[in-house]
């Protein structure tokens, strides 16, 4: 009996051995994450932390809504919250399209501040990294961390620029926030303080950062940070914030010195110009070449062009996906026509000789376009336009690319055209109506057809392999042409008309357009609208210039009908209304959401909300 009892004891001893002692059970670290100590004692890991802040930057390729769709550039086919703004219904309770929802415009309040906190965590830790290394290595590590600090400061300035241009003055934070802090102490800084904060960060970053040729492609450069400063100071010096009529110091200067502000803006642009960037050659004066090369420029796969100051590169399947083709391409190629260019934008394109479109066409009583030109006689309004029109917009019957599949659609459309026309074939009393492939009643993916009659072309890639649903072309955030236009505008505002004119024409001539005639302000604004179309610039411009009323008039589209009878073909172009828009003064700024104000009553809401 005792023997069996011993067996029992040994079984228990075995069971106890199977369990281990308590401390080793509970004292564990996560296996799928790095600890604080690991990250901030390793220059390599610290650098990876910075990648996340770069990753926070959103471009026009990230979502189905681009800033274009809250301007006259495009109409969002699926609305996605853009209508809340353009129809004038935005308020603090409904801040769409900046509400952070699935289709929200990039970098709203929350997303910008989230990244600012990340920068501040980085800045509070990065100086300590060198201490983890041996004395002999420290100097070398310090040199690297200084550059990274410069990148971090650039990124903080970038996110603050985003906020300042959306909301005006915002809480300024240089230290990371911690749980348990009294957040009541953080209030909105004035617009002036905010701009100064950004400008100071830019200056500090510029001294730490190297030029483009010395930095890995895609990382912040001296040029990028100076271009950012130029963009911010141009905005600050403009009418919206600096004409002395701002409602309060959160959304403008109360007693601005325009000369000082414009001079600062001019100098900021000049600082970039001194770095040796150059405009790309599009083959001017050959307008056909320009049309092709202007389009090709935005299909670049990397940032090496000397016109590109800074931007974001994409790979297929890895990292953020550039869905430009999918979001914005024509429906008959299986894409969604998300941001559809409006008739308003198309009408803005000059004729190829620099004259206004409406010098040659007029709108008839029923909205039909009528040619009244003595010079350009073709009734088709898409003929003889600024070459950049052909590089930017797909219009009815324009060539896009060959059909993906041989047979099928290729039988109907062997060329590969964007087809927005409705054909009425009339024989006797019978009429057979055929809707174009890209129309709303057409036979292919018609629910994804745009309402305006146009499709984006600039920034799309007609060489993207058919089986690939993401683009690999770059998003250009800063390019030299913008800086030159910034410079020209500052000069113009400072009364340096000739200097301004020189640079406006430089941009025009590069695109095969003759020197401007007439009003120089109008010419400058035309260049910014046309040259920088779809580049997330227009919405800020129409606000800085305080021309929201004009720019956000109802969105128009084009209806194209072709009548075939007895061998005759007659085509009509008729303007239609696509979206009622209702601009109002409050829309010059974006409201802080009610939810956020509820959490922090010290925040003052923007005017008129």
Partner 1 sequence: MKKNEINCSQRKMLWQKTLLKMKIIVAILFSCLVQISASVYSQTTKFSLNCNEMQITDILKEIEGKSDFRFFYQNEQIDVERMVNLYVSDQTVKVILENIFENQGITYKVFDDNLILLAPEKTLLSAYNKNSEKSVIVQQRKVAGTVTDKDGGPLTGVNVVVTGTTTGTITDSNGKYTLTIPQGAESLTFTFIGMETQEISIGTLTQINATMSVSAIGLGEVVVIGYGSQKKANVIGSVATMNVEQITAAPVASMSNALAGRMPGAIIQQRTGEPGKDAAQLLIRGVGTLGNSNPLIVIDGIPGRDLNSINADEVESISILKDASAAIYGARSANGVVLVTTKQGKEGTPATFNYSFYIGQLSPTQLPKMADAGTYAQMLREMQSYKGTAESNMTFSQEDVEKYKSGNYPWTHPNTNWADVTLRKHTQTAHHDFSVNGGSNSIKYYAAFGTQYDDGLYINSAQSFNRYNLRSNVEVKVNKYLDLGLQISGIQENRKNGTAGASTVFNVMNQSKPTDYATYPNGLYGRGSFGSGYQPQLIATDKGGFDDDKRYIINNKINATLKIPGVDGLSLSSYYAYDVLNGKRKYFNKPPVGAYSFDKAAYLAAGNTGVEDGSAFLIPSQGTWSPQLTDYYNNSTTTTFNLTLDYTKVFNEVHSLSAFVAYENSQYNTEGINAYREGFISNALPYLFAGADAGKNNSEYVDLDARVNFFGRVSYNYKETYLFQIGFRRDGSLRFSKDSGRWGNFPSLLAGWRVSNENFWKDNINFINYFKLKASWAQMGNDLVPAFQYLAFYGIGAGEVFGSGKTYYPSLYQTNVPNPAITWEVANNYNVGFESQLFNSRVVLNADFFYQRRSNILIRRNASVPNFTGLSLPDENYGIVDNKGLEIELGYNSEKSGDFSYSVNGNFAIARNKVINFDEPETSVPWQRLTGHPIGATLLYKSNGIFRDVEQINNTPHVSGAIPGDVIIEDYDQDGQITEKDRILVDKTWIPQITYGLSFNIRYKNWALNGLFAGAAKSWIRMLGSQQGTAGDYYQLFADGRWTPDNIDATMPRAYDGFTTYWRNTYATELEYQNQAYIRMKNLQLTYTFPRILINKILLKNAQIYFSGDNLFLIYASKYRIWDPEFPGNWDDTYGSRDNYPLMKTLTLGAKISF
Considering only residues 31 through 70, tell me which ones interact with partner 1, judged by CB under 8 A: 31-36, 38-39, 45, 48-52, 54-55
Q: State yes or no: residue 571 binds partner 1 (CB under 8 A).
A: no
Question: Least separation, in Å, of the C-beta of 382 and partner 1?
Answer: 18
Q: Which is nearer to partner 1, 11 or 497 (CB)?
A: 11
In the DSSP assignment, the letter for residue 332 is G
Ramachandran area for residue 475 (φ above 0: left; ψ -120 to 50: alpha; else beta)? beta
Nearest to 545 by CA among 98, 95, 240: 240
Q: State yes or no: residue 284 binds partner 1 (CB under 8 A).
A: no
Question: Least separation, in Å, of the C-beta of 137 and partner 1?
Answer: 22
Q: State yes or no: residue 22 binds partner 1 (CB under 8 A).
A: yes
Question: Least separation, in Å, of the C-beta of 383 and partner 1?
Answer: 22
Cis check for the bond before 15: say yes or no (omega within 30 of 0).
no
Candidate ranges 21-29, 141-149, 247-255, 544-552; the one touching partner 1 (CB under 8 A): 21-29
SS3 string, 265-289, reads HHHHHHHHHCCCCCCCCCCCCCHHH
Candidate ranges 80-88, 234-242, 339-347, 542-550; the one touching partner 1 (CB under 8 A): 80-88
Distances (CA, A) of 143 to 47, 103, 203: 13, 41, 18
Spatial CB neighbours of 583, under 8 Å, sequence gap ≥ 6:
86, 88, 548, 549, 551, 552, 553
Q: Which is nearer to partner 1, 178 or 566 (CB)?
A: 178
Tokens representing 52 are: 């996340």
Which secondary-structure segment (H or E) carries 206? Answer: helix 191-208
Pairwise CA distance, residues 467 & 88, whole Å: 41
Cis check for the bond before 54: say yes or no (omega within 30 of 0).
no
Spatial CB neighbours of 558, under 8 Å, sequence gap ≥ 6:
343, 346, 395, 396, 420, 452, 453, 454, 573, 574, 575, 576
Question: Least separation, in Å, of the C-beta of 408 and partner 1?
Answer: 4
Q: State yes or no: residue 30 binds partner 1 (CB under 8 A).
A: yes
Q: State yes or no: residue 255 binds partner 1 (CB under 8 A).
A: no
Pairwise CA distance, residues 591 & 170, whole Å: 12
Considering only residues 178 through 237, tell me which ones interact with partner 1, judged by CB under 8 A: 178-179, 181, 183, 186, 216-219
Residue from the set 58, 229, 231, 312 that interacts with partner 1 by CB under 8 A? 312
Residue from the set 267, 422, 502, 605 that interacts with partner 1 by CB under 8 A? 422
b/e map 384-397, b = 16+ CB within 10 Å? bbbbbbbbbbbbbb
Strands 421-427 and 393-394: unpaired
Candidate ranges 67-75, 94-102, 150-158, 355-363; the one touching partner 1 (CB under 8 A): 94-102
**Backbone Cα Rg of the chain:** 28
Q: State yes or no: residue 170 binds partner 1 (CB under 8 A).
A: yes
Candidate ranges 291-299, 368-376, 404-412, 456-464; the one touching partner 1 (CB under 8 A): 404-412
Q: What x/- string results for residues 355 through 384 when contact with partner 1 is judged by CB under 8 A?
A: ------------------------------
Q: State yes or no: residue 256 binds partner 1 (CB under 8 A).
A: no
Considering only residues 100 through 129, tell me which ones interact with partner 1, judged by CB under 8 A: 102, 109-110, 113-118, 120-121
Nearest to 545 by CA among 230, 161, 239, 237: 239
Candidate ranges 60-68, 87-95, 379-387, 527-535; the one touching partner 1 (CB under 8 A): 87-95
Pairwise CA distance, residues 474 & 280, whole Å: 16
Candidate ranges 176-184, 323-331, 346-354, 536-544; the one touching partner 1 (CB under 8 A): 176-184
Tell me, by CB under 8 A, how many residues bind partner 1.
Answer: 129
Q: State yes or no: residue 564 binds partner 1 (CB under 8 A).
A: no
Q: Which is nearer to partner 1, 35 or 207 (CB)?
A: 35
Residue from the set 204, 289, 313, 494 that interacts with partner 1 by CB under 8 A? 313
How buried is 519 (Cβ within 10 angstroms: 0-12 exposed, 13-18 middle, 19+ buried)? exposed
Residue from the set 193, 203, 320, 562 that interacts with partner 1 by CB under 8 A? 320
Q: Which is nearer to partner 1, 318 or 374 (CB)?
A: 318
Question: Least separation, in Å, of the C-beta of 576 and partner 1?
Answer: 4
Ramachandran area for residue 252 (φ above 0: left; ψ -120 to 50: alpha; else beta)? left
Question: Least separation, in Å, of the C-beta of 53 and partner 1?
Answer: 8
Residue 563 and residue 570 in contact, taking contact as beta carbons nearer than 8 Å: yes
Candidate ranges 60-68, 299-307, 344-352, 501-509; the one touching partner 1 (CB under 8 A): 299-307
Residue 56 and residue 517 in contact, taking contact as beta carbons nearer than 8 Å: no
Candidate ranges 141-149, 236-244, 434-442, 532-540; the one touching partner 1 (CB under 8 A): 434-442
Q: Which is nearer to partner 1, 237 or 459 (CB)?
A: 459
């Amino acid at each position: 009996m005792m023997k069996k009892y011993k067996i029992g004891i040994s079984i228990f001893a075995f069971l106890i051995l199977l369990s281990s002692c308590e401390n080793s059970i509970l004292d564990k670290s996560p296996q799928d994450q790095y600890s604080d100590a690991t990250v901030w004692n390793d220059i390599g890991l610290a650098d990876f932390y910075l990648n996340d802040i770069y990753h926070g930057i959103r471009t026009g390729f990230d979502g189905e809504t681009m800033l274009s769709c809250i301007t006259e550039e495009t109409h969002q086919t699926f609305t996605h919250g853009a209508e809340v703004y353009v129809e004038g219904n935005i308020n603090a309770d409904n801040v769409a399209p900046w509400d952070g929802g699935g289709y929200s415009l990039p970098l709203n309040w929350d997303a910008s501040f989230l990244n600012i906190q990340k920068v501040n965590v980085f800045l509070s830790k990065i100086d300590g990294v060198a201490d983890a290394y041996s004395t002999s290595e420290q100097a070398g590590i310090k040199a690297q961390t200084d550059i990274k600090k410069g990148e971090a400061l650039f990124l903080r300035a970038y996110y603050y620029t985003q906020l300042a241009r959306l909301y005006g003055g915002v809480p300024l934070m240089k230290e990371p926030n911690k749980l348990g802090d009294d957040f009541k102490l953080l209030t909105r800084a004035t617009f002036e303080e905010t701009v100064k904060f950004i400008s100071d960060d830019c200056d500090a970053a510029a001294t730490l950062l190297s030029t483009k040729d010395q930095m890995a492609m895609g990382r912040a450069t001296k040029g990028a940070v100076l271009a950012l400063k130029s963009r911010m100071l141009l905005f600050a010096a403009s009418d919206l914030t600096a004409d002395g009529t701002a409602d309060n110091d959160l959304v403008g200067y109360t007693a601005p010195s325009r000369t000082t502000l414009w001079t600062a803006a001019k100098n900021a642009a000049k600082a970039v110009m001194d770095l040796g960037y150059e405009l790309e050659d599009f083959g001017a004066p050959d307008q056909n070449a320009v049309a092709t090369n202007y389009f090709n420029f935005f299909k670049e796969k990397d940032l090496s062009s000397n016109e590109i100051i800074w931007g974001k590169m994409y790979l297929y399947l890895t990292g953020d996906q550039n869905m430009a083709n999918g979001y914005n391409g024509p429906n008959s190629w299986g894409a969604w026509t998300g941001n559809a260019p409006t008739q308003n934008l198309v009408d803005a394109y000059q004729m190829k000789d620099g004259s206004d479109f409406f010098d040659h066409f007029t709108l008839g009583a029923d909205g039909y376009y009528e040619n009244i030109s003595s010079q350009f006689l073709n009734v088709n309004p898409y003929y003889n336009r600024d070459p950049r029109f052909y590089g930017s917009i797909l219009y009815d019957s324009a060539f896009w690319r060959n059909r993906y599949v041989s047979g099928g659609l290729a039988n109907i459309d062997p060329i590969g055209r964007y087809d927005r026309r409705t054909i009425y074939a009339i024989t006797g009393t019978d009429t057979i109506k055929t809707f174009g492939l890209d129309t709303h009643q057409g036979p292919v993916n018609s629910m994804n057809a745009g309402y305006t009659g146009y499709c984006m072309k600039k920034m799309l890639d007609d060489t993207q392999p058919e089986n690939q649903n993401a683009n690999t072309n770059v998003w250009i955030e800063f390019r030299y042409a913008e800086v030159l236009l910034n410079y020209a505008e500052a000069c113009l505002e400072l009364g340096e008309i000739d200097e301004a004119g020189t640079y406006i024409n430089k941009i025009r001539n590069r695109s095969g357009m003759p020197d401007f005639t007439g009003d120089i302000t109008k010419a400058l604004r035309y260049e910014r609208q046309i040259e920088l179309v779809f580049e997330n610039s227009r919405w800020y411009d129409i606000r800085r210039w305080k021309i929201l009323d004009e720019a956000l008039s109802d969105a128009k589209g084009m209806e194209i009908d072709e009548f075939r009878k007895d061998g005759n073909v007659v085509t009509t172009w008729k303007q239609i209304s696509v979206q009622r828009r209702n601009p109002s003064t409050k829309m010059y700024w974006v409201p802080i959401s009610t939810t956020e104000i509820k959490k922090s009553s010290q925040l003052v809401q923007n005017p008129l909300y």
